[in-house]
Structure 1
Amino acid sequence: MCNHDHPLFQKKEKESKDERTVHDQEHLLWNRRSFIQALGLVGGGSMMLGSHTVSATKPSPLSVALAQSENDHILVIIRLEGGNDGLNTIVPVYDYASYANLRPTIRHQQSDLLNLNADFAIPNYMNALESVWGDGNMKVVHGVGYPQQNLSHFRSTDIWASTADTYEEPTGWWGRYFEDLYPDYLINPPEIPPAVQIGNVGNLIFDGNNNNYAFTVANLEQLQNVAENGTLHDVVNIPDCVYGDKLLFMRATANTTFLYAETIHDAYTAASNNADYGEGDLGQQLSAVARLIKGGLGTKVYMVSLGSFDTHANQPERHQELLQDLSNSIKAFYEDLAVSGMDDKVLGMTISEFGRRPYENGSDGTDHGAASPVMLFGAGLNGSGFVGEHPDINEWDANDNLIPTNDFRDVYNSVLTNWFCLDPSVINTILLNQSYEILDLGIECETLSTNDFSNVNRFSHVPVYKNNTVYLELNVPSAGRGTIVLYDLVGREIGTIANKLFFEGRHSIDIKEALGKRLSFGQYIYRISIGGQHYSKSLMIK
């Protein structure tokens, strides 16, 4: 039996202290990054172009086909922020002796486990999921991760969001999809928010190139304020003074950036909750999401979060509190949706940037690891069960981590293919043209896509910053006359960057040179009109 005087645990305790020092430094960097991102318009922002008439976007063949291929399915991503300990969530009772030997202090006693089958169990404080499992509404994908796990919270979070693990990709998997679906999003956004995100400021999942496609609020209170009142900030109870005038201006300006406030308000007030969510943080988030879904908002993807699962110390108490919130909230969420008959249209999926080490450290906790289960919920799963092989808990990689048996992008690919029924060529773009497996999650596409996007020539445009200037680089699939106009964030036209015939191929335009005028430092919006289509994006003049 292991004990804390053993040389292994003394060595690991020193490693744990060193890891926590790096860990704290990363949190400082991430907080700065989140703060900087929060200064801008974080999702849901659009602009009115002064007194200029803006024609509606003529949908591109690609965006029309994508819209037509959409079904009524919804995805709710539940981020277990901080790195969830999979071995104490889904306990491998088939090798309980090895599990207990690695975790002499923080292990679950066998008498405190609820068996899901002969091989795996959950702790008894997750008993709310026992009926979810029994009703056939839960799947567990074993050992999810990616090769050569990066043990940084923030880099690994970016990898799960962007799907790129060998380089830093600035866009997210859902951001790339929405960018194709809504190419003129900044100026002509859709009537409903493509995604709703509570918290997770700084997460890349819904980021396209220089734009975020989610209606994002920092916390539940902000969402409830918008949902109940249709605005973000109080603009009535303002002090009658110069300070009050300035406060009114700032609050009103902030409110106008939330384009979808009224839409969210209407959906939220059109429905009510029919389940007891308790007082847990996740429960309150999911209760708001349920009202928006039942109220007919029409948004396809939601992301909520629960944390922190970064349990380096005193794990048993903290982990129990978090997993109880998760279990109770999931049960209430699907009971609520079932009242309106929507429990089979909503797929819940947990993600976490990594798992934990197979052995405990010297602080009654676990350190950053690799493989961890992904849990799926919903009446559309066609029965409960386990997917894939569980990692061998006695076989570790060079960093003493469990070796993943399923790639997280296999899970994404399976959801996109069999839940959203997307065409393989579209999924290739979403997953950065890499091939991944389709797992048997118990979901099947009811309406097979008849669209073939493999031969679609996509118009692309991106600002490129080099040599102390900014270039606009275009890839034009077929020749046509086009115009490119630059606006400031107030909507005033700054000038025409180009008005000419663009031949097929690549073009690079020096924006400052093309305008022939001095530009102040700051953020701008450009709009391209070519071939009857419109595209808009932001750029920074430095």
Structure 2
Amino acid sequence: MCQHHFSGKKASKEEKQIHDKEHASWNRRSFIQALGLTGVGSVMLGATQISASKPSPLSVALSNSENDNILVIVRFKGGNDGLNTIVPVYDYDSYANLRPTIKHAQNDLINLDANFGIPNYMTGLESLWGNGQMKVVHGVGYQNQNLSHFRSSEIWASAEPVDFVSTGWWGRYFEDLYPDYIISPPEVPPAIQIGSIGNLIFEGTDNNYAFSVANPEQLANVAQNGTQHDVLDIPDCVYGDKLLFMRATANTTYQYAGVINEAYSSAVNAVDYGEGELANQLAIVARMIKGGLGTKVYMVTLNGFDTHANQVNDHRTLLEDVSNSMKNFYDDLSAIGIQNKVLSMSISEFGRRPYENGSNGTDHGAASPVLLFGPGLEGSGFVGEHPDINTWDANDNLIPSTDFRDVYQTVLTNWFCLENSVVNGILLNQTFENLNLGLDCNNLSVNDFSNTTQIKHTPFYQNDNTFIELTMPVTAHVDMRLYNVLGKEIGSLKNEILFAGKHTIDVKASIRNSLSYGQYIYRLSIGGVFYSKSIIIK
């Protein structure tokens, strides 16, 4: 039952001000969350958390190039045990001595070559390997491995293992490349993420750039129905007003529901994926790709790899899902001949220790293999040097032999064909090694996206006032305007030539009219290039 905030007696002026500010705060917060203007927007649908956000420059960059390649990131959440995934047959005795209870028997392995094998229940990967569609990068990690799930996940997402960085490797690219995302979004969702809500990988300074859902059922609901919320059966009261606002705003932000629905409905799965957690996600992703959605990056999530106990059974269930699902995924794509355009890559926050613990499991470790799948790899094989399983660091962990950012750099450079200067920016102005993954841009003539402008504009707040600091690299004419959240222009903040250097713009003083407390958007035009960002008027 709905209840009003006030009783029958007349509210005092102070109570009314508090009430109005509460509503303004609720509206602002709800709008920010629903639209994703600052960070990931989240709403609850039933018992499921859904996140939606404005789109990013990724689709613009790739759609403007001749490269229509797609990346599917498969996250093994919890820390995958690499030694029981890719077994070092070349030193089987050492491996078996370290894992007397949880080891794979040597006659229960499928040998990929003379040195490495996989469990015999991973027949799907045997098929991919035999068809030249699988590569294994040995010993992937970073120096001084952090053994916290949360921190190491942040490190893999941000590509920065030392200092905390609040943006992700994809998010930085999106933000720099398409600075006017609030005003001019692309037509299709550039990234779709199932699970891992809150992960930094698609996070920019002000926005998360992925269309994100908590589970495959929720994405299937979007794809099948093209909408989320009932906006008709709403109670007539203050609560109902809030509910209507939230539902309508969330529905509006799901502007991509229509194109997702169209792509999903225009394709079918050509194979039976079964009922595994990863299987359900990849089946949906396959229909999106086959239906011509145009999204370039997908991230799916398989949970449960934190195998401190009962590893033999639990890990088998996970690896069977991975093996069967990846084979089915590429068989599905092959039905219409688009398998060559899709690369899949596993990530996991860390590996496990080389020796088993006392609970028939393994504890948090370091180096672990990255698995890549797809015909674009142009042949199966191993990349890099496997860590010596008898040589450990001070925490009894395997020592990484390949930096995880080497994998990122190779995918960005040799799969998406991005210029080195762009890749350096994505990877925080550091250069890493290009690995021999067999990926080839085929000398495609792609746009040079390295010429991203160096205009910096940052809102800041001081003494209940709102300011924008603008850093100009050169002298140029600046046209900056303020809009409300409905897109109505409020007024001009700056329209003049500004010299190179820093400039501070007082928003309230520039508008010269009373501005209500809440959310606004400013849009900046310099030399025909547009930028936009959300701000708060206090």
Q: Which residue of 2 aligns with 1:16?
A: none
Kept after mapping to 1: 8 A contact 2:231/2:248: yes
SS of aligned partner of 2:202? coil
Kept after mapping to 1: 8 A contact 2:66/2:446: no
Q: Which residue of 2 aligns with 1:26?
A: none
Q: Which residue of 2 aligns with 1:122?
A: 118
Q: Which residue, 281, 292, 302 being the options, matches 1:296? A: 292
Q: Which residue of 1 aligns with 2:427?
A: 431
Q: Which residue, 50, 54, 57 being the options, matches 1:45? A: 54
Q: Which residue of 2 aligns with 1:352?
A: 348
How much has 1:506 moved relative to structure 2?
A: 3.0
Partners of 1:428 and 1:494 in 2: CA distance: 39
Q: Are positions 1:529 and 2:525 aligned together?
A: yes
TM-score normalised by length of structure 2? 0.85
SS of aligned partner of 1:111? helix
Partners of 1:335 and 1:374 in 2: CA distance: 21
Task: Tell me the C-alpha RMSD between the 2 structures.
Answer: 2.7
Q: Are positions 1:473 and 2:473 aligned together?
A: no
Residue 471 to residue 360, structure 1, CA distance change in 2 (3 Å)? farther
Residue 301 to residue 284, structure 1, CA distance change in 2 (3 Å)? same
Partners of 2:426 and 2:307 in 1: CA distance: 32
Q: Are positions 1:460 and 2:456 aligned together?
A: yes
Q: Which residue, 478, 481, 485 being the options, matches 1:485? A: 481
* Deviates most, 468-477 or 129-138: 468-477
Kept after mapping to 2: 8 A contact 1:209/1:462: no
SS of aligned partner of 1:498? strand
Kept after mapping to 2: 8 A contact 1:70/1:420: no
Task: Name the amino acid aligned to 1:114.
Answer: I
- Structure 2: state its 5+ residue gaps: 1-35, 44-49
Q: Are positions 1:229 and 2:238 aligned together?
A: no
Q: Which residue of 2 aligns with 1:216?
A: 212
Q: Which residue of 2 aligns with 1:5?
A: none
SS of aligned partner of 2:340? coil
Matches within 5 A, 1:58-73: 68-73=64-69
Q: Are positions 1:363 and 2:359 aligned together?
A: yes
Residue 435 to residue 239, structure 1, CA distance change in 2 (3 Å)? closer
- Structure 1: state its 5+ residue gaps: 1-33, 47-58
Partners of 2:279 and 2:398 in 1: CA distance: 31
Partners of 2:199 and 2:61 in 1: CA distance: 28
Matches within 5 A, 1:38-437: 38-39=41-42, 42-45=51-54, 68-235=64-231, 238=233, 247-437=243-433
Work out the percentage of aligned pairs sharing the same amino acid: 65
Partners of 2:335 and 2:415 in 1: CA distance: 22
* Deviates most, 532-541 or 423-432: 532-541
Q: Which residue, 433, 438, 444 being the options, matches 2:440? A: 444
Partners of 2:177 and 2:343 in 1: CA distance: 21
How much has 1:541 moved relative to structure 2?
A: 5.3
How much has 1:399 moved relative to structure 2?
A: 1.2
Q: Which residue of 1 aligns with 2:19?
A: none
SS of aligned partner of 2:255? coil
Kept after mapping to 2: 8 A contact 1:69/1:422: no
Kept after mapping to 2: 8 A contact 1:277/1:287: yes
Kept after mapping to 2: 8 A contact 1:471/1:510: yes
Superposed CA offset, 1:138-161 (max 9, x none): 000000011111111111111111
Superposed CA offset, 1:460-506 (max 9, x none): 32334677765423332332222323334344545543232222233
Q: Which residue of 2 aligns with 1:12?
A: none
